Structure 1
């Protein structure tokens, strides 16, 4: 992992978590990214909603960035917003060297950080491509208690707001559930695709809702709420796309085919049957001798084992071979 910090402004600091390049990860050379915005009531940036969240997304294939933005009693909200815009812009501007797809960047924010992420989505000069909001502040009425004038996100929602994933908890006493419900209504009114999980139990500020982010308190652990992370990953993969792979995933039907004569039967089963050996040698002379010499391929289906051949096999020859082997099932 490559880890470094970039100072964007006197108040904005971006910590970058990048997956190392590898020839064994060739289809994931360029990755989607998440810009993580911790909460803290605009008075500080919570460690519990910073690096642990970034590392969780890194493990799911995202390059991750944590922004420490302007916070504290003397920091106007406009500076926090400017830091958020600067963080997103810096990632896009340096996407090539960061191995990031500049068109697949999500802002992930919690509480006040959720407000900042949502603000980028509704009012930013350059908006994220998706939002993940955890128990977010969305209403301007939150500003006076913390001595700041903040954007009313609900009023600012428009049809350019990016697809949004939102989770919160019904008993949240610090950021009332109305913040989530009114935002969802605004998203629906503007036909913005969204997914929401309002959990029955759980306090405010759960982060990953696991012991590692609970600061030693049982209040911060809830295995049900913890499902927001994999759910958000699935959401982002649907919205931003996943890494490309060739072929189709295996099914139970494929497993059953290993017991029937054909290209899907295991090599060891085919080599144990003289009729199958004769058919294979008829179409691919000398192949069974090579297969017997390589014990590593004995458990492979014949189709996969032949894929290791240094010489490409004519698809028509392979198809005729498959038909003749399948006829042995009759």
Structure 2
């Protein structure tokens, strides 16, 4: 995994990228959907509990993940935080090829005040995300007195261009009452924007993943039912963005810059010159029925599995000879 933190235009604003690296063993994941996470914190801070742990959870699902630490306190006056979010989204799409991101599959995920910012980006942004994930979001302008500055309401900004949303909240939330989520759901329904809504009966505000690891040691921050939001969200995202392709009998990564002993056997054997070199060094493979099961692994791996049939010197020479064959 690569970890990159970039300063953005506004003061003390950063975008942190958590990037899964490409692997020739998983060519179907070369381009991944992405999640841009906005932690909560009443626009006075950005909660660590709603930042990296959430990124890690989405990484485990195969997404590239990003965390935005946006403008706070007196700098939180709109549109400054929205500008931060717009800049972060544009940066992800501009670097999509470098970062292994599908620019048409970027979701925002925001909690509480971060949910306000995520939904603002989805309704007011000059460039909008492709989906929204909103946890106990602050939506109503009338409830924004907990913030250091006056902020716009989101429910009145929903339009037909607003992306589909996954929303979860708890009935017991007293800091950001559930009527915020209900107002947003009503606005989405009126604009015919698809959404999935889960209101859990129990749980305080700020649950994050609602698991012990994000609890900060507080019993109140753990709730087994509310914790189901993440699995429900992951299933919803697969409906919106689709699943990674898994419909091939054999997956060969032919996006290579040169031949060599670390390239899959199935790719090498498509080239007659490579085939000749391989069978010359490993004649036992030519008529071996097990070769059919080894086309997705490299010569290096085959040599290791075989207990070092070829010496290091022979392997190095074979690698040089293979690299000397032009790609076709």
Distance (Å, rounded) in 2 between the aligned partners of 1:99 and 1:74:
32
Aligned-partner SS, 1:77: coil
- Identify the range of structure 1 (142-151 vs 116-125) with the bigger mean alpha-carbon deviation: 142-151
Query: Per the alignment, do residues 25 and 247 of structure 1 end up closer, same or farther by CA in structure 2, a change over 3 Å counting?
Result: closer
2:120 counterpart of 1:95: no
State the match for 2:4 in structure 1: 4
Q: What is the match of residue 318 of structure 1?
A: none
TM-score normalised by length of structure 2? 0.75
CA distance 1:309–1:220, shift in 2 (3 Å): closer
Q: 1:75 to 1:118 in 2, by over 3 A?
A: closer
The structure with the largest alpha-carbon Rg is: 1
Contact 1:138 1:183 in 2 (8 A): yes
Q: After superposition, where does 1:164-175 map in structure 2 within 5 Å?
A: 164-175=165-176
The alpha-carbon deviation at position 84 of structure 1 amounts to 0.8
Aligned residue in 2 for 1:117: 118
In structure 2, what is the equivalent of residue 224 of structure 1? 225
Aligned counterpart, 1:81: 82
Separation in 1, partners of 2:52, 2:293:
42
- Partners of 2:158 and 2:166 in 1: how far apart? 14
Structure 1 CA distance for aligned equivalents of residues 156 and 103 of structure 2: 28
- Counterpart-to-counterpart distance in 1, 2:19 and 2:164: 24
Give the stretch that moved more between structures: 239-248 or 50-59: 239-248
CA distance in 2, matches of 1:34, 1:177: 24
Q: Could you report, residue by residue, the CA deviation over 1:225-266 in whole angstroms, capped at 9, with x for unpaired residues?
A: 111111111111110111111159xxxxxxxxxxxxxxxxxx
User: What is the aligned partner in structure 1 of residue 300 from structure 2?
Assistant: none
Q: CA deviation at 1:196?
A: 0.7
Aligned to 2:142: 141
- Deviation, 1:76, is 1.6
Show structure 1 runs of 4+ deviating over 6 A: none
Equivalent in the alignment of 1:193: 194
Does the Cα contact within 8 Å between 2:15 and 2:66 map onto a contact in 1? yes
1:141 shift after superposition: 1.5
| Cα offset, 1:73, TM superposition | 3.6
Match of 1:207 in 2: 208
Q: 2:294 & 2:151 partners in 1: Cα distance?
A: 64
- 8 Å contact from structure 1 (residues 122, 157) kept in 2: yes
Q: Return 5+ residue gaps in structure 2 as ranges.
A: 250-286, 296-328
What secondary structure sits across from 2:138 in the alignment?
A: coil
Partner residue, 2:107: 106
RMSD: 1.8
Kindly tell me: are residues 247 and 45 of structure 1, through their superposed partners in 2, closer, same or farther at Cα, counting changes over 3 Å?
A: same
SS at match of 2:25: helix
Q: Deviations over 1:200-220 (max 9, x none)?
A: 100000000001100100000
Q: Which structure 1 segments of 5+ residues have no match?
A: 249-288, 295-304, 311-330
Deviations for 1:118-170, whole angstroms, at most 9, x for unmatched residues?
A: 00000100000000000000111233342422121100001111000000000
1:50-83, Cα deviation, whole Å (9 max, x unpaired): 0000010001000000000001245323211111
The reply on whether 1:154 has 2:118 as its aligned counterpart is: no
| TM-score normalised by length of structure 1 | 0.75
By how many angstroms is 1:116 displaced?
0.3
Alignment partner, residue 55 of structure 1: 56
Contact 2:42 2:146 in 1 (8 A): no
How many residues get paired? Answer: 257
Q: Does structure 2 conserve the Cα–Cα contact (< 8 Å) formed by 1:121 and 1:162?
A: yes
